[in-house]
Amino acid sequence: MSDDHGLVEMEPTPGEKLAAIFKQREVRVATAWGVLVTAIFFVIGGWIYPSWMPTAMSTDMKSIERLIVIFTWISAPVCGIVLGFSIYTFLHRHKGDTPPADGPGFRTNSLVVGLWVIVSSALCLVAVVYGLIEMNSASAATAEHKKNAMVVEVTGSQWAWSFNYPEQGVQSHELMLPINRPVEFKIISVDVNHSFWPVQLGVKVDANRLQTTVIDTTPNKLGDIDVKCAELCGLYHAYMETSGKVMSADDFNTWVTAHQGGHTA
Ligand SMILES: [Cu+2]
């Protein structure tokens, strides 16, 4: 900012004001960096990051993936502007021993501030509305699944998960689920707070002592599930994990028959 070209004094139209801001070379270069960073984050958020995410094995996981992508896209321009100006500043930092003279003082540019408030409010509003719609459709699905969901009672303890299938009379340390049947998890802890996280199912919910938390999902893809604890719960928190499987209905029935009355490791 070498001088302000009398921007504030002229009081021209907003369009002229904006044009004057962009007449400054440093603003144009920093904006170009901002656009580049936004584009990079747009691509990373939309195509590269989803390819690193675990396989989606339920509709919930699919919608969470979509939510992450859209929220990344919304935040990309914010990140772009901040990093764009940071990159410009870093590349044009002062080198050498003699400190440069102070630059001219500059006043708040109400047009830029106003525009930015409007744009960021609009982005937040999109995020809030989108989030509410997703939440609403998730609770509608829960109400619909309530009738024929298979109940799995999940117990967290330092430092293991165990699963009880009351309908089938089976207990297990592995999470076995039949494909395409809604499952209702009833989650509790016998000691400290844990968080039940079957990664590929897109479910992550607290396991508290004395208070059962309930959540449902419908596995829709065969394959392996990683079950982890997502709440720091003590010395071996990092090892509080087990595995599971989404199986065909037949395979699930075979597994149930083999384990009824017993307790699998
Ligand atoms: Cu835990």
240 CA from centroid of ligand 1 (Å)? 6
Question: Using CA of residue 255, residue 256, residue 262, residue 265, what is the dihedral sign?
Answer: positive
Tens-binned pLDDT, residue by residue, of the chain (265 aa): 445 555 556 577 878 878 888 888 888 999 999 999 999 999 999 999 888 888 899 988 888 888 889 889 988 988 998 999 999 999 988 888 888 788 777 778 888 889 889 988 998 898 899 889 888 888 888 788 777 889 999 999 999 999 999 999 999 999 999 999 999 999 999 999 999 999 999 999 999 998 999 988 999 999 999 999 999 999 999 999 999 999 999 999 999 999 886 555 4
From 185, 179, 183, select the one nearest 163 (Cα to Cα): 185
Can you list the domains of the chain with their CATH numbers?
7-92+109-143 (no CATH), 148-259 (2.60.40.420)
188 CA from centroid of ligand 1 (Å)? 11
Q: Please state, as a whole number, how many other Cβ atoms lie within 10 Å of the Cβ of residue 112.
A: 13
265 CA from centroid of ligand 1 (Å)? 18
pTM above 0.95, yes or no: no
156 CA from centroid of ligand 1 (Å)? 7
194 CA from centroid of ligand 1 (Å)? 4
